[in-house]
Amino acid sequence: MDIFHLPLETVYLYTLIISGSLTLLILFFQDVFHGLSEAIPVSFLNPALILSFLTIFSASGYIGEIAAPLSSSVIALLSFVLSVLLVSLLHFFVLVPLSSAEESLAYRETDLKGRVGRVITSVPKDGYGEVIIEGIGGAISKSAVSFDQEQIKYGTAVLVIDVKDGVLFVTPHELI
């Protein structure tokens, strides 16, 4: 079968080369293309998914045309089904969890109120020290001052009372 006076294997190969190259470009310059994906509200029209579909479709079609003794329409149908299946798995098991994981690592300073941390640089009466707050997503290290204007020694557990301009106001806390 010929398309545009080219054998079907050649069309599959050209599509594979072009879509694979564009997929790599999107991978390397993802921040540039992020605005494009924000402009399109439908998640299955993500450029990475479309190009992944074309890459898988053309690769499986090319291999099918070379290796399988089936008709071109059957090979195209099998390539389409395989592409839809693999791109769906890619979307639901890779892209969706990655997009939600990125958001879960962010925090606001007001979220630190009421958290318990540990002093890693002693806090003087009228100066700054440093506190580390450990959580599931990692550790946060912030400058701290004593809420009660008292010295807090290294290693002491502290409770965050307030946060102003990126500085934690802490008081000693007994762990239960």
Two structure tokens written together for 18: 């072009």
E strand segments, 11-166:
116-121, 129-135, 138-146, 157-164
Of 80, 104, 128, which one is at a domain's C-terminal end?
104
More confident call, 41 vs 77: 77
Mean pLDDT of 24-33: 75
26-31 CB contacts, 8 Å cutoff, 24+ apart: 26/51
Let me know whether 13 and 31 are in one domain: yes
Report pLDDT digits (tens) over 69-99.
888 889 999 999 999 999 999 888 887 777 6
More confident call, 94 vs 107: 94
* Residue 103 pLDDT > 60: no
- Domain span including residue 164: 109-172
* Residue 38 pLDDT > 70: no
Let me know whether 146 and 84 are in one domain: no
Q: Indicate the average pLDDT of the chain.
A: 84
Global pTM value: 0.55
Distance CA 149, CA 170 (A): 10
At residue 171, the pLDDT reads 93
Query: pLDDT tier at 8 (50, 70, 90 boundaries)?
Result: confident
More confident call, 104 vs 9: 9
CATH of the domain at 141: 2.40.50.140
DSSP state of 53: H
Domain count, the chain: 2
Structural contact between residues 157 and 173, judged by C-beta atoms closer than 8 angstroms: yes
Tell me which amino acid residue 100 is.
S
